[in-house]
Structure 1
Amino acid sequence: MAVAVQQMKLISGKNIATPKGFKAVGIHCGLKHKKYDLAVLLSEVPASVAGVFTTNAIQAAPLVVTKEVVQQTGQMQAVIINSGNANACTGKQGMCDALTMQEKTAEQFGIAPNLVGVASTGVIGEKLNMEPLLKGIQQLNPTSTLEGSIQFSQAILTTDTVMKNTTYRTEVDGKEVIIAGTAKGSGMIEPNMATMLGFITTDAKIDSVHLQEALKSITDVTFNSITVDGDTSTNDMVLVLANGLAENKPLSPAHPDWDSFLQTLHAVAQDLAKMIAKDGEGATKLIEVEVDGAVTDAEARKIAKTVVGSPLVKTAVFGCDANWGRVIAAVGYSGASVDPLGITIKIGDTPVVKDGEPVIFSEEQLLHYLKQPEVKIFVGLNKGSGHGIAWGCDLTYDYIQINASYRS
């Protein structure tokens, strides 16, 4: 007998510290000229932890340190994050600095070093300025207030133009469970695992093995389904911390409320992924590409991500040009199995291709549609039951300007 999924609910005005037992804060320590650049997320008790990490062969020192905590300890109680410097490609000194951040954070909050994750974001190849950073760690005083969470969200940003926060509630064993997320990411986004940096908290009780299973099950259809510019960073990671203070019975795939938990975690991850895509460097529009009728779901996602990542599609959307030829070309070079005579394409609700043949449409109508802040493209393949969605953004003059002067 199928078990009904508890209805999840988006909670407005909530934040990364809304789940029971979590605190957060961000401060300016001096790595950046003025903006907040150091943050910490803290749980009152050790939390089960799951993580997904960049597939880039070049991996930053803090990511290596954090991955070891996730894989060897399975628990985490604090995460220390700095922006303004990625601490990537910094050799032995970079690893020493990441371990020092871990150790000093543990001292500040009276916890074991192997319960501390470390994350950094910013310029690659420059050594961390440790003096202001270590002084900053001593000044961190996380709280469960909205102010502290906003400061946390601000402190992890680089070229982002907006903070990225979302919070949902659901029920497990009749008890309220909260899942909240914060992320940063704007450029260098082609994750193949996760976002630039993402942090998700929940007061649900769940073993790290099952939490990892849950995170991996949603990664491909959320964080792995976005692209801004095709670049995979050295520092990408998403961490989920679950401290169990909701006092539900331990979650597992056999638990009657497992689907409710998974659905809510998926909603948090998808919200963050779409926020990152929408805030792509210089972006003016969010692009959503939906593919239906592919041979498999994986092939559908592959096609969707190829289309949304095409520079020619992205520039066409920026220019409000209904150039569907660029869409069908991207479908063709995606590497997925397609039948040219079975392809249907719609821009918004307007068909432009049916069964591989062009359809007459109103240029004026599509011009008006393409001026909207969100643009949807549908591709039907008539090859199978595979379905997938990917998100990205348009490619603008400002993207060039931002990245041409990133270090200066």
Structure 2
Amino acid sequence: MFSIYFKMPKRVVPLTDIKIKKAKPGPKPRRLFDGGGLHLLINPDGSKYWRLKYLLHGKEKRISLGVYPKVTLAVARDLAAKERHKLMEGIDPATERKAHKRTKQDEIANTFKTVALEWYKHKLKIWSPATARKVREALEIDLIPSLGNNSISTLTTPKVVDVLHVIETRSPHMADKARQYCGAIIRYAILTGKREEGRLLDLRGALNPLVESHFNTFSEKDLPGFMKKLDTYKGAAQTKIAIKLLMHTFVRPFEMVGAQWSEFNLDTAGWNISADRMKMRHQHIVPLAKQVMKLLQELHKLNGCSPFLFPSERAPLSKSMARDTLSKALRSMGFQGLATPHGFRAMASTMLNEMGFHPDVIERQLAHKEPNKTRAAYNRAQYMTERTKMMQHWA
């Protein structure tokens, strides 16, 4: 049986504001009772705290009701009455407060940022380096800055949708990826007990349908104008060099921004990209033209102290710059909707075919997958001389 007793002295005279104001501190803490367990604790330093004392199952308990004079006598009596009502309903105020405190602590500990990074670490072992890089960039550039401090347990669909719409204005494709990542993070939070079961986000229809299209790029007649604008680009020097190297080598943007000095052999003029960094999971060799070697020498003066050709400003020794940096640069130069970093691959393919180079040589240098394994191995060896000549001609 739920037995409750409110501890109070006999013949308690209710407190008044005047009596409280006149009450002086003593050498030890003392209490002024108001009745029904409500009392004012006066400490030797003069501070005054409201407390409610009660007996539950024969055990004496106390809870705080605030600090005087911020909490007045009238307010303290109202608060005490509410807590007594809870007791009559079988709720222990002290236990309820502890549970509420634990919930708050869980909300603080389990923010979107904390859970997202935990999910990322959990998935890292099964992702390819390229996928891991894409997810990390989405988290660091868009999702964590916007949603990071929100509690994962109370994060709502409208809050996430607002963030996705902002990303969509810049890149519908990246917004769609961010939508998928958010859904996966919420599912992970539910599976690990950090969010109530069944509380999934409803992000269906949050974004406009993706329209399948080819990457925008330049034609041959557009190149002189673009190169003039690139030469006058006011952004970071490494970004300008990255775009030039991308045009010369036509690797994929994420393969370029993640490049490390250890992959380059300047004596043999070759760039050897390991299979784990390639989209098609095959080792790729890029013959380096004389113009590319000159750009690399210039870049080494800037970033030779980092393992990365294009290090992150915040963590130059452990991270490369974000892939979206190249897209932002093109937008700032006035080419939004006209060209993309990935589009330089299509431009090279078109122009090299028009120049009369063998399609197999071009496809191999683009690192497109060859379905026939025997032919693929043959191509890697047979076409290296032709590829080297082609890359120098292209430069």
Same fold (TM > 0.5): no
Higher strand residue share: 1
Which protein has the larger Cα radius of gyration, Structure 1 or Structure 2? 2
Higher helix residue share: 2
Looking at both structures, which has the greater relative contact order when contacts are Cα pairs under 8 Å and sequence separation is at least 6?
1
TM superposition score normalised by structure 2: 0.22
